[in-house]
A and B are shown apart, each in its own frame.
Chain A
């Protein structure tokens, strides 16, 4: 479970995120929706402490995340961004990046298992420069899952993809969330996608929470 408690961030006197409180229960998918510049990505970056809150805090499994070492926190709260940002090398090297930071080498079987989960069986030895946009995003998803996170943050995970790849990746994410019971926060500007993926929604505008509730109520209000 992850809880944002009066979470805020101001930069240069401007509030990017303003006093947001929301609880995402274990296994729940929360969609964060709103227009461009509403503070959706800024809010997400506060949840894994890529940015520092200037107000409030986040509780992970009931613990104030400022008491958790940042690297440990980010392993527990994984993130997939709009662009895959794969590191030079092979697909399996990318998948093993997170565990390698703790001095662990993931086995070939584990790498294959993660790749199979994202529909990329047999891709382990491929160079990442030879991947399509959709394939790269799936590697990015497998790479985040390799850390066995408790919470997964998805920042517009399909918005840089073409329509075919978009529906494949979205379907894949949906399957993984259902199979693993991951707690998930997904940022999207696409209301239809939010309705397909999430059970609850948080509507932001100008950095403030305008509505929080069941997906249909928030999107149709």
Chain B
């Protein structure tokens, strides 16, 4: 219907975005009836998402005509932005911004570097940036899930953790179970994506490759390659972030900092 009303691609795109946003916002209105208030956060996220993706699209047009060396700084900027976004899921966890940024840089950054060196990801900006951004975005989500789970597990088990400390356990030992649970929980979406690939969903990248005339088998295999890279980047990110965050929730004198309502006093040792 919309494509009959709008012939100009830009107008059609905006109309389609509005239709999709209305459907997305309907969820918010349904949630509101159940006393779940997401109005402000969802509205900001929708507008912000549209503005960001249009801005990125415009930047991509510029990048297409740039040197391929612009890829590395562009990806580094994305990693930092992902770190900032992800750290917000770990409110109150000391050092979450630093941990998130380092973990995503190690996880997504290393997979991008290795796969680019092996020739799995082409160095052309038009390939490197979109594939790289997919890995970074998924690493960001996994990191957010891991830190969020770690935070809630620690807050729910302060008694057990402090009992272990009081018995002479090392801080890392006292939170070992929660580190493991956070790592496992954070990887559930990535594992489910791999499991259901082609059965429950046909990812956009493969659809795009088919539309642009790639051979279907190659498109399918490359889609698997991308998901396997996403799994590797996410897993490595989560591993690094859960290992690093352990040290940040304790003082130098091995006192738990992350406690409900507590403003712990940092110790000098």
A residues sitting closer than 8 Å to B (CB atoms) are 9, 11-12, 48-52, 54, 66, 70-72, 74-75, 78-79, 81, 83, 85, 87, 97-98, 101-102, 143-144, 147
Specify which chain A residues have a CB less than 8 angstroms from the CB of B170 in the assembled complex: 71, 101
**CB-contacts of B235-262 with A (<8 A):** 251, 253-256, 262
On chain A, the residues within 8 Å of B256 by CB distance are: 50
Considering the complex, give the chain B residue whose CB is closest to the CB of A53. B265
C-alpha gap A75/B170 in the complex (Å): 12
Would B168 and A71 count as touching, CB distance under 8 A?
yes
Residues of B within 8 A of A81 (CB): 159, 163, 166
Q: How far is the CA of A1 from the CA of B119 in the complex (A)?
A: 68
Given contacts A85-B160, A101-B173, contact A52 B166 (CB under 8 A): no
Query: Which of the residues B164, B168, B169, B265 comes within 8 Å of A54, measured between beta carbons?
Result: B265
Which of A12, A52, A83, A147 touches B167 (beta carbons < 8 Å)?
A: A147
A-B contact pairs, 29 of them (CB 8 A): A11-B265, A49-B253, A50-B166, A50-B255, A51-B264, A52-B251, A52-B255, A52-B265, A52-B266, A70-B165, A70-B253, A70-B254, A71-B254, A74-B168, A75-B168, A78-B166, A81-B159, A81-B163, A81-B166, A85-B163, A87-B160, A87-B164, A97-B167, A97-B169, A98-B168, A101-B167, A102-B168, A143-B167, A147-B167
Question: How many of chain B's residues have a CB under 8 angstroms from any CB in A?
Answer: 24
B263 within 8 A of A: yes
Which listed residue, B168, B253, B262, B265, touches A101 by the CB 8 Å rule?
A: B168
A12 in contact with B168 given A50-B255, A52-B255, A70-B253 (CB within 8 Å): no
Residues of B within 8 A of A97 (CB): 164, 167, 169
A74 x B265 contact (CB < 8 A): no
CA distance A162 to B269 in the complex (A): 41
Q: Let me know if A48 and B159 touch, CB within 8 A.
A: no
Q: A50-B166, A74-B165, A144-B167 are in contact. List 14 more A-B contacts (CB 8 A).
A: A9-B265, A11-B263, A48-B166, A49-B253, A50-B165, A50-B255, A70-B253, A70-B254, A75-B167, A85-B159, A87-B160, A87-B164, A97-B169, A147-B167
